[in-house]
Amino acid sequence: MALNAEDTWTQGDLCWRDERWTAQVIKNEDDEGWAVAMTLAGEAEPALVGPWTMGRDKKNPKPLSAPAFHTLVKTASEVLRRHEQQLHAQLHKSLKIDSEKGRLTVLLDIVPDEDNPYATLSAKNADGDVLAEVKVSAGFKLTESSAQAWVEADFLRPSK
């Protein structure tokens, strides 16, 4: 007999699990209270750790509930989404400049390879056609002045 996703779900006082997320109430190491850790399936580290409410006896944690679990899933998913957006913004930069060739969009796409990180510097015209593309150092700083200098040098690979 095959197991379906719901067979692996857990709904206990201190642990809730569905096919994607696990909420685990844990002792807060920083004080005498409790915390809840939200971990995405397959990940070693929690995406979110936050304070958890004490129960009525002021000693033990409040049990997890369906509404609390769904709120925690929504919050943890939002944390991951923001992290992905921040990483994307760090690795993909663009700006627009005016030049003799018209209005251009200059892009810097960083490839964070562990052994050999690099970036691709490219320029597109207003129609989206790629006018030039060169490989540069992953540490290349894309600024309006560096983009302008690259365009004025007829897209020769920048020396730094």
Statement: residue 4 has pLDDT above 60: no
* Residue ending a domain, choose from 90, 115, 138: 90
- Domain that residue 123 falls in: 100-152
Alpha carbons 105 and 125: distance in angstroms, whole number: 6
| pLDDT computed for residue 141 by the predictor | 94
The pLDDT tens digits of the residues spanning 79-116 come to 999 999 999 999 999 999 999 989 999 999 999 888 99
| pLDDT computed for residue 124 by the predictor | 97
Residue 85 lies in a domain: yes
Residue 2 lies in a domain: no
Alpha carbons 12 and 24: distance in angstroms, whole number: 10
Number of domains in the chain: 2
- Kindly state whether residues 12 and 48 are assigned to the same domain: yes
**pTM for this model (two decimals):** 0.69
- Kindly state whether residues 71 and 124 are assigned to the same domain: no
Residue 50 lies in a domain: yes
- Kindly state whether residues 73 and 120 are assigned to the same domain: no
* Residue ending a domain, choose from 71, 90, 109: 90
| pLDDT computed for residue 1 by the predictor | 44
* Residue ending a domain, choose from 90, 112, 140: 90
Residue 132 lies in a domain: yes
| pLDDT computed for residue 59 by the predictor | 86
The pLDDT tens digits of the residues spanning 5-33 come to 555 688 899 999 999 999 999 998 777 78
Residue 157 lies in a domain: no
- Kindly state whether residues 125 and 80 are assigned to the same domain: no
Residue 160 lies in a domain: no
